[in-house]
Structure 1
Amino acid sequence: MQQSPHSSPQSHSISASVSDSAAQLSNLQQTYTSIPRVRPQTPLLDSITAPTDLNALTSAQLITLADELRLFLLYSAGQSGGHFGANLGVVELTIALHYLLDTPNDQIVWDVGHQAYAHKVLTGRREQLGTIRSKDGLTAFPERAESVYDTFGVGHSSTSISAGLGMSLALRYQGRAQTVACIIGDGAMTGGMAFEAMNDAVQQDADLLVILNDNDMSISCSIGGFSRHLAMLWESGYQVDISETGKPILCQRPDMQTFDRRKRHKEMRDVPQLEDNVFKAIGFTYFGPFDGHNIPELLRVLSLAKQVKGPVLVHIYTTKGKGFAPAELDPVGYHAISKLPVEIKNETQSKAVEKSQPNIETTLKYSEVFGQFLCDKAAKDDKLLAITPAMEEGSGMIDFAFQFPERFFDVAIAEQHAVTLAAGMATQGVKPIVAIYSTFLQRGYDQLIHDVALQNLDVMFAIDRAGLVGEDGATHAGVFDLAFLRCVPNMLIAAPKDENECYHLLNTCYEYQGCTAVRYPRGTGTGAVIEQPAHTYKIGEAVVESVLGNDAASKKLVLLAFGTMVATAQQAAERLISDEALSCQVHVVNMRWVKPLDSALLETLLAQGMTHIATLEEHMIMGGAGSAVNEYLLNESAAFKHNRPAIRNIGIPDSFIAHGSQAEQMADCGLDVNGVVTQLQQLLS
């Protein structure tokens, strides 16, 4: 690794071995048991306005800074909500990196971005952190437009090594000696893209520093052979240390107090599993595992590792939720948190707050509807198998995994593999269901086309987080799936309006022999009760929800609503007919299916003299469900060519929608009731 032009005052005096005093210093870190509601006193942290301010601090002060930073992150998360455990786990690493590197001249590339909050604080955004994930506030992930210290925009996993390699090669081409450091978690490392990048880094003999943050977690617990390999490296009791000259030295880990220190140094052949680790086999220079919460140790190791030429991997182990006792005990539950609830100070205030809160106790999340369907169907059909790419909790599969463990397959962060795995299963007479977020299905698109649809295999996709997702912003928005799915032959696509319809559309697509997808949104539904037993709908059949207004009205408007927009369409229709100046009749149609469309109903409506048509969808306008309606009307409908009703497609405009609450995002796109009414009034006028 090429040495950065920058060298902090302390970097030259960092000891080559972990001293007893340094080990004691690392034990001074605090553990907290509650999230503060009042801004804590953080005098040392408050003095840091840019990473260069770290240069004047001693090791002891850096440890104090870590305590203050962790406490500040706890307070900030309580105010804004957001990703939690991973950020607490990388406090010491973030401090060490910004202490040793000359950022933004040197490049720090974060993977996913779940762990970048401490980075944001140390790079001049401390007092803005409370705005994170809020409209017009800081983004949930690193974003190049937000700060020069955010070198690469992230949100999806396993991209950091590829991006960092690209930076390193471009810098080398231009003759610029800058360090590129990529931080990737053990969960993200299971993504095939990470291994593709490591393979190429060796091929290119690139100067690249990869830091593997191993906390045995992604969002859920890490699984599979790679996780077991990392565990083996840890359980050996040894580490590949780094000498002053940058050479690997096998020695006993300092935390293994039961071992004789005289036996600390060993020949590599005595512990073959460390020599034979996967990173060294690929061609990386490997050092580790090291304690990722020991600041003096991190400073020593990283200051030497960044000077080693070629691709280098430093393996550190951390605790997700470090320093907050409840999160250390429950890292899955504390992966992300919501804002702290409002404190109730008196009985009057308590009653007012209670009255203002909607009763959502009986309202299911769509992921819970899917989880209920899985368990119900699996109890009756032993051919059902379910696959998820590391989203067991988020996709509502916890109960299914517990009840049917032999039929549950968590393949880690490997979306491409998940899709082709399902294709292979389907060739053997079983029915696989791939539970996946819309934004992550994008990563398995080639496999969906070539491995599933082209062979017309019996695979069902349960697509969660379809539409706008609120605070996670553009990186996680599921607003492209209709466009990229409906152009694929053999695909059926369903869009339920509520929980009950979601349950039965899942059942309908499961019973269908072929490639199907059911897309549903993040969060809770409308409160619709799920009818039992499960039944099937007719493929491609829409439903007229209501006809409002006078049949003699001069203007007849049909609202073709898809999925979540059915309820909005109904409210907009009621507002329109109350406007006497418009004199219109409104038909509200729950289209239910994006592919195939109910062309028979469209022809019936045209025959009834519709003068205006509007499509409504929580998806990009370009290429979406409205485009499908346009294509049918223009290319196949003789009645449309004869009558020529006016058409408007209502959906998400041709732009990436910034983070904010889902309600704010919908309003920004004109997809709330007010926005839809305004657009319909323009159409009718």
Structure 2
Amino acid sequence: MSDSYEILSKVNSPEDLRGLGKEELPQLAEELRRRIIEVVMSTGGHLASNLGVVELTLALHRVFESPRDMIFWDVGHQCYTHKILTGRNDRFDSIRQKGGLSGFPKRSESEHDHLETGHASTAISAGIGALTAKRALGDRGKVVVVVGDGALTGGMAYEGLNYAGHLGKDLIVIYNDNKMSISKNIGGLSVNSNLSKLSNYVTRLTLTPFYQKTRDKIDRGIQGIPVLGCKLFELMVRIKRTMKAAILKETIFSEMGFDYIGPVDGHSLSRLVAVLRSAKKLDKPVVIHTVTRKGKGYQRAENNPSRYHGVSPMVNEDDKLERKSSLSYSEAFASAMMELAQEDPKVVAITAAMADGTGFTAFKERFPKRFYDVGIAEQHAVTFSAGLAIAGLRPVTAIYSTFMQRAVDQVIHDLALPGLPVVIAMDRSGLVSDDGETHQGLYDIPLFRSVPGLSFLAPGDQQEMKSMLRWALQQSGPVMLRYPKDVCPARLPALDGEIESGRGVMVHEEEGDLLFISLGAMTEEVLEAVHLLALKGIPADLYHLRFIKPLDEEHLSDLISRYPHVLLVEDGTEVGGVGEQIAGMITRRNIETHYRWMGVPDSFLAQASRAELLREVGLDRQTLADRAREMLSQRLSVLKPGGDIVLGG
């Protein structure tokens, strides 16, 4: 770390922060921003959102006593300042690197992290649960949940708010609004605004113990008036709501049982500290609405927060993001979508707050009336797509594999059961770099291959991506595609042929004793393993398994029966994967072969590059070649995932 961090170098814990003079805090905020920019430009990571919550995080750790007072982050990618202030500054350079700090809160990393919030909208439910447990155990510590405005597009956030309001416990929810500009026409936070002064005055008034006690006393007194009390109280409530809405823009939070405070300038440390200290004294649920600016302190990020939401490592001082010469799988999908949408005006695109990540930016610009971003609402996205299909459109819904976990019921109940023609494009499937356990796409195969009536495919190159998407749009039922966050090969041998339901294609054939079966993006890596074996004089064949479901078992059985040794490779969990499915087929059909399948072991994988992850789980080309040589040299009889089966003889 640079020697220029005069104040930050003195802060290794929240206690150190609380020991600083308030006059030191503005400089500390500036140093924190420099530290975050310095590291993220080197390692990559979430930049704009973290720059926007520096003052808010300082105020939280200034007022509350973490970890006794619990702070939950939703979504957790805005936790960088929190990590630095809670004793992890010396390791901050390792964030999102193999063996380093996670880019999200992580319980095993610090006592100040309480939940791995890599998926949005979960923290309010966890927070009210933690608060309920604290009170049941006699612990008077506070619970604070910081929720971004994006997370409030997810339905689970409102389920949590509804129940928290019902319980009436003293949960503090901070609504971090980083989309609202600070101007009087949208909330009156301009320094010179008369409405701002009135809003601040009323906020201060409603936080005072005198106001709270007086309001409660008056409410009880009115309700106690014989005959007319209840009706008079209801009338006063309606009048108060009307007036409050006009002055303070009262929100849905009040209707759910929360006191509402704000808007509050999220970059004014003095205002934040004052409001948080007052809210800490309340014995009821409260929402504090803070307004922050994404990218605060870094002009380029302020001007273009979307571009600087998540950044790759920079390659030079001209601030140009590193680019790959080849298309990624997401870009190959986006290119195919553009071409097919021009051919068919019924093709529409749906995403859940991931237009850029899924490659839909160009589609949105070219076909704005055929593009739908539903926010962080994957369950809604799937069933919304079902409705589009019911009425005659051809929806293609692109969602990250890790987030599709949230919509399993909708796929089964709302797509597969009625047999609706919806295409689900699962980006970030398989091994996912940098973001760690919460973002791995390892579970989609076991989750969805058991769903009746669903076709499930995995492309291996750019041409096959387009062919599979075209095939999917011609089907009368639901279809899923899965592909990774990685460079997509322009063209692999034999993958440009016609798509036949349930069948794959032979990519490399030398009539050897060993057959590799590979799935989707793993075909390129396995082909390299085949080449390594060839250098040793060992011939091996390679079959590219296009379909996860359906599988043409007659065709596949006939193929496997020709080989003494068969090794299947997939980039999903071994438990419940394709390898396990084919093992069952071999057993049922009593095929005589030495069969082994290799996938990801039954464990969570921390952050690392895709190449590092492949090596870690033994799916890199060299390890695959080594395992193939082992198979050829011995015939083991071990029936287990990742092991060997000798069947039929």
Match of 1:472, SS? coil
Residue 540 of structure 1 is matched in structure 2 by 502
Residue 514 of structure 2 is matched in structure 1 by 557
Shift of 1:578: 3.5
Match of 2:110, SS? coil
Contact 1:390-1:410 at 8 Å conserved across structures: yes
Shift of 1:478: 0.5
Contact 1:40-1:75 at 8 Å conserved across structures: no
Q: Closer, same or farther in 2 for the Cα pair 1:56/1:560, shift >3 Å?
A: same
Find out whether 1:624 has 2:569 as its counterpart. Answer: no
Contact 2:187-2:263 at 8 Å conserved across structures: no
Find out whether 1:400 has 2:363 as its counterpart. Answer: yes
Residue 339 of structure 1 is matched in structure 2 by 313
- Say which is worse superposed, 274-283 or 295-304, in terms of deviation: 274-283
Find out whether 1:596 has 2:558 as its counterpart. Answer: no
Question: What amino acid is aligned across from residue 399 of structure 1 in structure 2?
Answer: A
Partner Cα separation in structure 2 for residue 275 and residue 392 of structure 1: 30
Partner Cα separation in structure 1 for residue 566 and residue 492 of structure 2: 31
Q: Closer, same or farther in 2 for the Cα pair 1:315/1:498, shift >3 Å?
A: same
Match of 1:566, SS? helix
Match of 1:241, SS? helix
Shift of 1:575: 2.2
Question: What amino acid is aligned across from residue 553 of structure 2 in structure 1?
Answer: S
* One of 141, 160, 172 as aligned partner of 1:178: 141
Question: What amino acid is aligned across from residue 113 of structure 1 in structure 2?
Answer: G
Contact 2:494-2:506 at 8 Å conserved across structures: no
Residue 125 of structure 2 is matched in structure 1 by 162
* One of 253, 276, 296 as aligned partner of 1:302: 276
**How do 1:242-641 and structure 2 match up within 5 A?**
242-243=204-205, 245-246=208-209, 247=211, 269-270=242-243, 272-273=245-246, 274=248, 276-341=250-315, 360-361=324-325, 363-528=326-491, 537-548=499-510, 551=511, 556-580=513-537, 585-608=539-562, 610-635=563-588, 637-638=589-590, 640=591
Partner Cα separation in structure 2 for residue 234 and residue 65 of structure 1: 24
Partner Cα separation in structure 2 for residue 101 and residue 665 of structure 1: 38
Question: What amino acid is aligned across from residue 272 of structure 1 in structure 2?
Answer: A
Match of 2:51, SS? helix
Shift of 1:374: 1.7
Partner Cα separation in structure 2 for residue 216 and residue 472 of structure 1: 24
Partner Cα separation in structure 1 for residue 93 and residue 148 of structure 2: 25
The Cα offsets for residues 411-462 of structure 1, whole Å up to 9 and x where unpaired, read as 0000110011111111112111111000000011111111111111111101
Shift of 1:523: 2.6
Partner Cα separation in structure 2 for residue 537 and residue 526 of structure 1: 18
Question: What amino acid is aligned across from residue 568 of structure 2 in structure 1?
Answer: T
Shift of 1:653: 0.6
Q: Closer, same or farther in 2 for the Cα pair 1:268/1:597, shift >3 Å?
A: closer
Match of 1:650, SS? strand
Partner Cα separation in structure 2 for residue 410 and residue 234 of structure 1: 29
Shift of 1:302: 0.4
Partner Cα separation in structure 2 for residue 368 and residue 474 of structure 1: 24
**How do 1:656-667 and structure 2 match up within 5 A?**
656-667=604-615
Match of 1:651, SS? strand
The Cα offsets for residues 383-425 of structure 1, whole Å up to 9 and x where unpaired, read as 1121100011111111111111111110000011001111111
Contact 1:542-1:601 at 8 Å conserved across structures: no
Residue 17 of structure 1 is matched in structure 2 by none
Contact 1:502-1:520 at 8 Å conserved across structures: no
Partner Cα separation in structure 2 for residue 191 and residue 291 of structure 1: 24
Shift of 1:607: 4.4
Q: Closer, same or farther in 2 for the Cα pair 1:567/1:531, shift >3 Å?
A: closer
Contact 1:482-1:625 at 8 Å conserved across structures: yes
Alignment identity in percent?
Answer: 38
Shift of 1:336: 1.6
Q: Closer, same or farther in 2 for the Cα pair 1:567/1:670, shift >3 Å?
A: same
Match of 1:463, SS? strand
* Structure 2 segments unaligned to the other structure (5+ residues): 214-238, 634-649
Contact 1:248-1:287 at 8 Å conserved across structures: no
Match of 2:203, SS? strand
Residue 254 of structure 1 is matched in structure 2 by none
Contact 2:18-2:61 at 8 Å conserved across structures: no
Match of 2:7, SS? helix
Question: What amino acid is aligned across from residue 320 of structure 1 in structure 2?
Answer: K
Counting matched residue pairs gives: 592
Contact 1:499-1:530 at 8 Å conserved across structures: no
Shift of 1:526: 1.9
Question: What amino acid is aligned across from residue 95 of structure 2 in structure 1?
Answer: I
Shift of 1:155: 0.4
The Cα offsets for residues 222-243 of structure 1, whole Å up to 9 and x where unpaired, read as xxxxxxxx95687975635133
**Aligned-pair RMSD on alpha carbons?**
2.5
Residue 196 of structure 1 is matched in structure 2 by 159
Match of 1:458, SS? coil
Shift of 1:585: 4.0
Residue 21 of structure 2 is matched in structure 1 by 58
Contact 1:82-1:338 at 8 Å conserved across structures: yes
* One of 50, 64, 69 as aligned partner of 1:106: 69
Contact 2:128-2:171 at 8 Å conserved across structures: yes
* One of 50, 54, 58 as aligned partner of 1:95: 58
Question: What amino acid is aligned across from residue 555 of structure 2 in structure 1?
Answer: L
* One of 591, 595, 603 as aligned partner of 1:647: 595
Partner Cα separation in structure 2 for residue 291 and residue 531 of structure 1: 59
Contact 2:244-2:250 at 8 Å conserved across structures: no
Partner Cα separation in structure 1 for residue 12 and residue 66 of structure 2: 13
Shift of 1:268: 6.6
Residue 211 of structure 1 is matched in structure 2 by 174
Partner Cα separation in structure 1 for residue 316 and residue 392 of structure 2: 53
Match of 2:33, SS? helix
The Cα offsets for residues 104-124 of structure 1, whole Å up to 9 and x where unpaired, read as 111000112111000000011
Residue 671 of structure 1 is matched in structure 2 by 619
Per the normalisation by structure 2, the TM-score is 0.87
Partner Cα separation in structure 2 for residue 122 and residue 198 of structure 1: 28
Partner Cα separation in structure 2 for residue 168 and residue 340 of structure 1: 42
Question: What amino acid is aligned across from residue 587 of structure 1 in structure 2?
Answer: D
Contact 2:51-2:297 at 8 Å conserved across structures: yes
Contact 2:189-2:265 at 8 Å conserved across structures: no
Q: Closer, same or farther in 2 for the Cα pair 1:574/1:44, shift >3 Å?
A: same
Shift of 1:39: 2.8
Shift of 1:601: 3.1
Per the normalisation by structure 1, the TM-score is 0.83
Match of 2:612, SS? helix
- Say which is worse superposed, 376-385 or 482-491, in terms of deviation: 376-385
- Say which is worse superposed, 180-189 or 75-84, in terms of deviation: 75-84
The Cα offsets for residues 115-135 of structure 1, whole Å up to 9 and x where unpaired, read as 100000001111211001111
Shift of 1:600: 3.4
Contact 2:336-2:465 at 8 Å conserved across structures: no
